[in-house]
Structures are given as structure tokens and as C-alpha cells.
Amino acid sequence: MSAEIASSSVLQRCPSCGKQNRLKPGRLETSARCGACGTMIPAIGVPLEVDAGLFDQIVRASEAPVLVDFWAEWCGPCKMAAPEVARAAESLAGRAIVLKVDTERNGALAARYGVRAIPNFVVFQGGQPVSQRAGLMPSHELASWVASFAHPTATAQKRAP
């Protein structure tokens, strides 16, 4: 299941009727109900590429841990990390949110968190950075690291009202 970013919000297509559904930034780790047909839409299991504005909305609103991959297009190790980050996002669906921030387009955001080497990974909990690592990491290590910050209630079984 893929998700799209549009006008500083996250959209996810219903697997049943195909309608795009706008998701609340603080509820991205949970399942949602399609506004058109009522079908449950699974929790997002892909990395979301965000700008500084949407980054702030999601990180501040999320009850689940947020893994942020700071990267750049010209960075070879970042390109090698991309499939690992995608696999980690898939395995963390329902327990965490995975964001990608392009440091070339969002330099001030990268500087805010002291990103000097990329790829650089930061885990946020409660709107605050709680752990940071630089360098290439395999997906299972990323997922395990992020999952260690997850609340037991942040699961894929959570349902939207």
C-alpha cells in the first residue's frame, strides 16, 4: 500500500474503492476507515518523503516513534540505504512512522538536528529526538532500533473511530 504527499498532508488510496483518503498526521501508524466505502485502510508501511512543514506536523502529533532518514540524492550510501529503509518501514507498519528528509531541499531542518553525515537516522518520540545514528544500517537493525521505542499500544490493530 502506497501513500502520497499532497498539499502538506498524507493521502492513502483505499484498496477497495480506490478513493484517496486524507490521513491525520498524528494517526499515520494506525489503520483508517475509507470515507467513501468504509473499508479499513491498513497502516502506512512505506517511507514518506516530507518537507519541513509536514515533518513538524507528523513528529509533533505522532504517538508512535518516528524514524527519520536524512539523505541526499548525490549520496551513494544513501541510495544503498533506501531499500533497507523501505523494508524497515514495511516491518514497522502499525508500530512506527518512517519519514525521509532530503537534506539538499531541507538544509535548515537537517541543521536543526545536527546532521553532518548522511545517511543519518533520528528516532523521535513525543515530538523530541531520542536517538540518532549515522551510516548505513540493515533493515532488521533499523526496525529493531525503532521498535525499542514503541509503546505496546501502538499496533496495527488500532482502528480509527
Residues 6+ apart with CB under 8 A from 52: 106, 108, 109
For the question of residue 37 being annotated catalytic, the response is no
**Nine-digit cell string for 157:** 490493530
33, 40 in Cβ contact below 8 A?
A: yes
Report percent pLDDT > 70 for the chain.
89
- State the catalytic residue, choosing from 17, 34, 37, 78: 78
- For the chain, give the mean pLDDT: 89
Q: Is 17 a residue of the active site?
A: no
Contact present, 155 and 30 (Cβ < 8 Å): no
Task: Round to whole Å and give the CA distance between 158 and 161.
Answer: 10
| Domains of the chain, earliest start first | 45-147 (3.40.30.10)
Question: For 45-54, how does the pLDDT look when each residue is reduced to its tens digit (9 = 90+)?
Answer: 999 999 999 9
Instruction: Kindly give the parts of the chain with pLDDT less than 70.
Output: 1-8, 152-161
- Lay out the sheet containing 3-6: strands in order across: 3-6, 9-13, 20-23
